[in-house]
Amino acid sequence: MPIPWLDSDSINFPSTTKALTEPNGLLAAGGGLSVEWLTEAYRRGIFPWYQSGQPILWWSPDPRLTLAPASFVTSRSLKKLIRKHRYQISFDTNFIKVINQCALTERGSGGTWITTEMAYAYSELHRAGFAHSVEVWSGDILVGGLYGVALGKVFFGESMFSLEDNTSKLALFYLILHLKHWGFELIDCQIPSDHLISLGAINISRQDFNNRLVELVDQQENRIGKWEINLDLINKVND
């Protein structure tokens, strides 16, 4: 079944109810990757995913994997790692390095979806204050991290990487610590993943997900701009 082709001059996504069941969630092709295109897509529960050589493909899968910050499961191994104070955590200090490392990790596993075009688009989204990174450092070496998009009280997770054991989980732990403090209510994990389900994520229907976005995305306390680590929260964890 053909999917709509989007004109790059006009942002006009079809209803997510039109998404295909096979492949799950494929909604449309074409369009653009500007800040305006991406923020409108996320508001509607749509995200871009395509491989090198393909046109831009837009997706809205059903079901949708989500994680409530309060439901995050801290494993015994992660608790042990936190107590060791082995790593340093930062927010938004090297977004480009994080996304490039995520791209290398994806390519190493056979994927190529974080293309140069995608990396540039999300870097522009970061400069506009909507995309954010979490970095995990061992001295001055970046050993783990993640990035995603924040709108209203929703964080849309995009990708994470680990160069040492559990460092991506550590990035997620400290992100969630701050998201709870800031009043965020939902993390979008996009597609089913046993790894994320083990951390507390659950599948919900696309309709339920979109209903939550209507409630949460346009709320006033939208933390646009550079994010900073809250040292009081860090110190409470370390005590």
Segments making up each domain of the chain, as ranges = 5-61, 65-238
Arch. (CATH architecture) of 65-238:
3-Layer(aba) Sandwich (3.40)
Provide the pLDDT for residue 125: 98
User: CA 61 to CA 7: how far, in whole Å?
Assistant: 22
What is the CATH code for 5-61? 3.30.70.3550
Q: What is the pTM of this model?
A: 0.95
Q: pLDDT value at position 188?
A: 98
- Residue 84 confidence (pLDDT): 87
The pLDDT tens digits for 109-134 are 445 589 999 999 999 999 999 999 99
Residue 236 binned pLDDT confidence (cut-offs 50, 70, 90)? confident
Q: Assign 214 a pLDDT band (cuts: 50, 70, 90).
A: very high
Q: Give pLDDT, residue 110.
A: 46
- Scored b (16 or more CB within 10 A) or e, 108-142 reads eeeeebbbeebbebbbebbeebbbbbbbbbeeeeb
